[in-house]
């Protein structure tokens, strides 16, 4: 049982006492010393409250009260500034280790001169803070939790947010964490497979400076691709595999970087055995294009991982061979980065984006980013539901989801259902960007994929179409 002494005079003090009586804290006992507030003011929870009708400025009367019980806290809510100072002087004379909480009602800086055992709460700061929290575009930061420095934040997810319709596991959370999701007046403790939806409220924890940036990202509208996976573009050139098309890939990466705007391109070149080609690549370096050449021949994994993390990379561009031969797909998957795989056509020649319908959870997970990239590249999106057995049942919810997203983005979408082999139909298509989920199973070797007969894992092996792989975390991982 904690004993708390409240020295109270005035309207604010009376309101606080009435408020206190409505709250049930069984382990606290409140002793109220006042000339103006009496026991009849308390209508609730009287069992843990006692009163003394005294002048709080009296040294002897305060001493008598403090001798009767051991008080852990003394609250001073007094209208007179001079009386408050006199009371604090008396209290410290009786016991200078008392923890004193003073409400500053006078907007004066003199209260800062009190001893370290006095905690001053400024009434005007408290009111201004509560009013400020009600402004739009202001994150709600609790001041009485943890360090009270903004390391806990509540963020609303608006429609059109770059975080909406994303799985928690697909979001890189470095130095911060999504701790709780509130939806429809219910609390959700998220897993990697939990999807964030518009109108959710996220409780996030981490470094205050990091949370400020995350708040801004969550409230940014779509069209900031490749965020929130990261900001900049990374071109991986392994000249053992990419020598013939290195310049073509570099031009494509520069072209896409210009379309995205306010992004930088970081180029990493491995195995530069051709001096003439290396010098030609260097010639493309400028303020927005940074070229780094690695001459050491002892592996690439650690360098790639450092680059992607250090340069805030959101989208990686590379050839199919360099992605899978060196197992960079594992690195990019676990870092939750988008991957663009070059195909036989240029980005400028792509006239539509295609998603082959499969697992509903994967389809919803990648929808937000798919519409985002289509909006930026000005591409119509097509859902292809191809099934050899003609089993189209269970697709309605997925189609409804994409149609809803299309309305949010003001984008066009078509759905084609056909009794056909999806691999064969995909290979017939021309000038498309194939969008697919990027998941852990993508790490398996091609022969193992054939054995598994998992169509979504076979799609990355169709070489001619450029592909965008969007990170997805399985619910069982």
- Mean of pLDDT values over 405-421: 79
Is position 314 within any domain?
A: yes
Q: For residues 145 and 106, state if they share a domain.
A: no
Is position 476 within any domain?
A: no
Provide the CATH number for the domain around residue 285.
3.40.50
Is position 383 within any domain?
A: yes
Q: For residues 165 and 186, state if they share a domain.
A: yes
pLDDT of residue 463: 65
pLDDT of residue 285: 93
Query: Of residues 298 and 273, which shows the higher confidence score?
Result: 273
Q: What is the pLDDT of residues 36-93, one digit of tens each?
A: 776 665 655 567 788 888 888 899 999 999 988 889 899 999 988 889 989 999 999 9
- Mean of pLDDT values over 229-248: 94
Q: What is the DSSP letter of 269?
A: E
pLDDT of residue 455: 43
Q: For residues 309 and 209, state if they share a domain.
A: no
Is position 342 within any domain?
A: no
Q: For residues 307 and 371, state if they share a domain.
A: no
Q: For residues 124 and 149, state if they share a domain.
A: no
Instruction: Kindly report the pTM of this predicted structure.
Output: 0.60
- Say whether 26 sits in a helix, a strand or coil: coil
Is position 227 within any domain?
A: no
Mean pLDDT of the chain: 82
Residue 161 binned pLDDT confidence (cut-offs 50, 70, 90): confident
Q: For residues 324 and 208, state if they share a domain.
A: no
Provide the CATH number for the domain around residue 9.
3.40.50.720
Q: Looking at 193, 218, 243, which one is the last position of a domain?
A: 218
Q: Is the peptide bond before 226 cis (omega within 30 degrees of 0)?
A: yes
Number of domains, the chain: 4
Residue 266 binned pLDDT confidence (cut-offs 50, 70, 90): very high
Q: For residues 118 and 11, state if they share a domain.
A: yes
Q: For residues 117 and 163, state if they share a domain.
A: no
Cα–Cα dist 196/158, whole Å: 11
- Mean of pLDDT values over 443-470: 56
Is position 161 within any domain?
A: yes
Q: For residues 356 and 462, state if they share a domain.
A: yes
How far lies 268's CA from each of 250, 272, 306, 312, in Å? 11, 11, 11, 14
Cα–Cα dist 168/177, whole Å: 10
Rg (CA), the chain: 32
Domain of residue 436, residue span: 347-471
Range from 109-118, 206-215, 412-421 that averages highest in pLDDT? 412-421
Residue 25 binned pLDDT confidence (cut-offs 50, 70, 90): low
Query: Of residues 421 and 475, which shows the higher confidence score?
Result: 421
Q: For residues 429 and 319, state if they share a domain.
A: no
**Is the per-residue pLDDT at 440 higher than 60?**
no
Q: What is the pLDDT of residues 217-237, one digit of tens each?
A: 787 665 578 887 888 999 999
Q: For residues 293 and 363, state if they share a domain.
A: no
Q: For residues 352 and 437, state if they share a domain.
A: yes
Provide the CATH number for the domain around residue 389.
3.40.50.620
Is position 223 within any domain?
A: no
Q: Looking at 128, 162, 189, which one is the last position of a domain?
A: 128
Residue-wise DSSP of 390-443: ---TT-HHHHHHHHHHHHHHT--EEEEEESS-HHHHHHH--SEEEEEEE-GGGG
Handedness of CA 193, 199, 205, 211 (dihedral sign): positive
């Amino acid at each position: 049982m904690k004993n708390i002494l409240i020295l109270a005079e005035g309207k604010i003090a009376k309101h606080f006492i009435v408020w206190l009586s409505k709250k049930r804290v069984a382990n606290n006992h409140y002793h109220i010393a006042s000339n103006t507030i009496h026991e009849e003011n308390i209508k609730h929870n009287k069992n843990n409250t006692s009163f003394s009708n005294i002048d709080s400025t009296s040294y002897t009367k305060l001493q008598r009260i403090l001798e009767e019980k051991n008080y852990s806290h003394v609250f001073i809510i007094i209208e007179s500034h001079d009386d408050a100072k006199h009371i604090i002087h008396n209290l410290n004379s009786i016991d200078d280790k008392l923890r004193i909480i003073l409400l500053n009602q006078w907007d004066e800086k003199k209260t800062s001169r009190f001893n370290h055992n006095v905690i001053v709460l400024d009434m005007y700061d408290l009111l201004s803070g509560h009013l400020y929290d009600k402004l739009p575009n202001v994150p709600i930061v609790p001041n009485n939790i943890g360090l009270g420095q903004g390391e806990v934040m509540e963020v609303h997810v608006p429609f059109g947010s770059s975080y909406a319709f994303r799985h928690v596991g697909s979001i890189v959370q470095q130095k911060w964490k999504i701790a709780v999701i509130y939806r429809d007046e219910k609390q959700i403790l998220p897993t990697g497979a939990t999807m964030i939806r518009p109108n959710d409220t996220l409780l996030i924890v981490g470094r205050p400076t990091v949370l400020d940036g995350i708040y801004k990202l969550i409230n940014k509208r779509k069209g900031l691709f490749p965020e929130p996976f990261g900001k900049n573009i990374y071109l991986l050139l392994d000249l053992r595999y990419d020598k013939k098309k290195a310049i073509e890939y570099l031009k494509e990466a520069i072209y896409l970087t210009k379309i995205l705007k306010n992004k930088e391109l970081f180029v990493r070149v491995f195995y530069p055995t051709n001096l003439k080609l290396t010098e030609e690549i260097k010639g493309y370096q400028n303020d927005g294009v940074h070229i780094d050449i690695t001459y050491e021949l002892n592996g690439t994994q650690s360098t790639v991982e450092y680059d992607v993390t250090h340069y805030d990379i959101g989208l990686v561009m590379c050839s199919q061979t360099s992605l899978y031969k060196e197992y960079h797909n594992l690195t990019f998957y676990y870092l939750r980065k988008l991957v663009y795989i070059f195909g036989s056509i240029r980005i400028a020649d792509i006239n539509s984006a295609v998603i082959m319908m499969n697992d509903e959870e994967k389809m919803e997970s990648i929808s937000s980013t798919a519409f985002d990239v289509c909006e930026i590249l000005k591409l119509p999106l097509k859902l292809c539901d191809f099934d050899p057995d003609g089993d189209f049942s269970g697709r309605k919810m997925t189609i409804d989801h994409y149609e809803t997203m299309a309305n949010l983005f003001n984008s066009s979408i078509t759905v084609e259902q056909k009794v056909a082999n999806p691999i064969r139909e995909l290979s017939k298509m021309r000038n498309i960007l194939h969008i697919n989920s990027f998941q852990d199973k993508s790490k398996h070797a091609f022969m193992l994929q054939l054995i598994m007969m998992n169509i979504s894992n076979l799609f990355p092996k169709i070489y001619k179409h450029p592909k965008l792989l969007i990170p997805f975390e399985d619910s069982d991982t």
